[in-house]
Amino acid sequence: MVFAHSLHGRIRAVKDASDSGSHTDSGSDMGAPGDARHSSLLGQSEESSHHDSDDEDHQEEESESENSSQAPGNEAASISFGALAKAHASFGKRKRGNDDDGYGDAQESAGKTQVPREFVNDEALERKAGKKDTRDFSRTSKHAPAELSSKKAVSRRREVVPTQKINHRDPRFEPLSGAVDEQKTQRNYSFLDTYRDSEMSELRSAIRKVKDSEAKEKLKRALLSMESRKKAQGMKEQQQGVLRKHRREEKEKIEQGKRPFYLKKADQKKMALVERFEGMKDKQVDKTIERRRKKKAAKERKGMPDARRG
Q: Is the pLDDT of residue 24 over 50?
A: no
Q: Which of 170, 189, 172 is CA-nearest to residue 180?
A: 172
Per-residue pLDDT band for 304 (boundaries 50, 70, 90) equals confident
pLDDT of the residue at 61:
55
Contacts of 139 (CB under 8 A, 6+ apart): 145, 146, 147
Q: How far is CA 286 from CA 256, 280, 282, 292, in A?
A: 41, 10, 6, 10
Q: Is the pLDDT of residue 62 over 50?
A: yes
What percentage of the chain reaches a pLDDT higher than 70? 62
Report pTM: 0.40
- The 10s digit of each residue's pLDDT in 244-260 is 888 888 888 888 888 88
Is there a contact between 1 and 68 (Cβ–Cβ < 8 Å)?
A: yes
Q: Is the pLDDT of residue 96 over 80?
A: no
- The 10s digit of each residue's pLDDT in 190-229 is 899 999 999 999 999 999 999 899 999 999 999 999 999 9
pLDDT of the residue at 79:
75
User: In the predicted model, what is the mean pLDDT of the chain?
Assistant: 72
pLDDT of the residue at 216:
92
What mean pLDDT is predicted for residues 30-58? 46
Q: Is the pLDDT of residue 48 over 50?
A: no
3-state secondary structure of 238: helix
Give the residue, 156 or 190, on which the prediction is more confident: 190
Q: Is the pLDDT of residue 9 over 50?
A: yes
- Kindly list the domain boundaries of the chain, sorted by start residue: 187-262, 263-300
Is there a contact between 4 and 71 (Cβ–Cβ < 8 Å)?
A: yes
pLDDT of the residue at 10:
53
Per-residue pLDDT band for 180 (boundaries 50, 70, 90) equals confident
pLDDT of the residue at 117:
56
Q: Supply the angle between the helices 2-29 and 35-78 in degrees, to the nearest 10.
A: 160
Q: H-helix or E-strand containing 22?
A: helix 2-29
What mean pLDDT is predicted for residues 85-90? 78
- The 10s digit of each residue's pLDDT in 119-134 is 555 666 777 777 776 7
Is there a contact between 268 and 240 (Cβ–Cβ < 8 Å)?
A: no
